[in-house]
Amino acid sequence: MTVPPHKNRTPEQILVAERLFDSAWHFWQALSWLDYAKRKTNISALQYAALELRQGIEHLWFDTNVWVSRSNPTLAPNGDTQVYPTPILCRAMETSI
């Protein structure tokens, strides 16, 4: 898919665009909302742009952390790589009432 231009789009065109689960998609949405906010002096569009920008930054941060954690294991003080145990997400089964 090629990236469509972000300028001169209506809110309907922004909302019905094909959604991609990527940080770049959020940045494209933010640019689209910013362009609309500038053209129409619409404060709601500016708020939508800020939300999309935040989502894009969080998505990019998450992707970067996952990529770094998989490619660079943490070294233990003795020089060995640490193997972290699988975290227990729910301890409800371990406790007795």
pLDDT tens-place string over residues 58-85: 999 998 887 777 665 555 556 565 555 5
Show the beta-strand stretches assigned E in the chain.
Answer: none
C-alpha dist (Å) from residue 21 to 24, 28, 48, 89: 9, 12, 17, 25
- Using CB atoms within 10 Å of the CB of residue 86, give its burial: 0 to 12 exposed, 13 to 18 middle, 19+ buried: exposed
pTM greater than 0.85 (yes/no): no
Count how many domains the chain has: 1
With beta carbons less than 8 A apart as the criterion, state whether 33 and 45 touch.
yes
pLDDT for 47 equals 97
Q: Containing domain of residue 17, as a range?
A: 1-97
**Residue corresponding to tokens 């500038």:** 38
With beta carbons less than 8 A apart as the criterion, state whether 21 and 1 touch.
no
pLDDT for 11 equals 93
